[in-house]
Structure 1
Amino acid sequence: MPIRPENRARYPANWKTEIRPAILDRAGNCCEGSPDYPDCRAANGQQHPITGSRVVLTIGHLDHTPEHNAPDNLRAWCQRCHLNYDKGHHATTRQRTRAAAAGLQPLFSESP
Structure 2
Amino acid sequence: MPIAPENRWLYPIDWPELSRLIRFERAKGRCERCGRPHGRNVVHLGDGIWWDEELGRWRDGRGRRVRGLLPPQLLEAQQPSLDGFDPVAWLPITRVVLASCHLKHDPSRNGPRDLAALCQRCHMLHDAPEHRRTRWRKAFVRRAVGDLLGR
Is residue 2:17 matched to residue 1:13?
no
Q: How far apart, in 2, do the equivalents of 1:59 and 1:26 lie?
A: 11
Q: Which residue of 2 aligns with 1:72?
A: 113
Structure having the higher strand fraction is 2
Quick one: which amino acid aligns to residue 117 of structure 2? Answer: A
Is residue 2:148 matched to residue 1:88?
no
Quick one: which amino acid aligns to residue 103 of structure 2? Answer: L
- Tell me which stretches of 4 or more aligned residues in structure 1 moved more than 6 Å: none
Q: Which residue of 1 aligns with 2:52?
A: none
Q: Which residue of 2 aligns with 1:28?
A: 28
- Quote how far apart the aligned CAs of 1:77 are: 0.4
Q: Which runs of 5+ in 2 are unaligned?
A: 47-92, 146-151
- Quote how far apart the aligned CAs of 1:28 are: 0.5
Q: Which residue of 1 aligns with 2:86?
A: none
Quick one: which amino acid aligns to residue 101 of structure 1? Answer: R
**Structure 2 residue matching 1:86: 3-state secondary structure:** helix
Q: How far apart, in 2, do the equivalents of 1:78 and 1:48 lie?
A: 11
Is residue 2:150 matched to residue 1:98?
no
Residue-by-residue CA offset, 1:16-42 (whole Å, 9 max, x unaligned): 12x111101100011000xxxxxx111
Quick one: which amino acid aligns to residue 28 of structure 2? Answer: G
Residue-by-residue CA offset, 1:27-66 (whole Å, 9 max, x unaligned): 0011000xxxxxx111111123435221111111111000
1:45-56 alignment, distance < 5 Å = 45-50=39-44, 51=46, 52-56=93-97
TM-score after normalising by structure 1: 0.80
Q: How far apart, in 1, do the equivalents of 2:28 and 2:41 lie?
A: 16
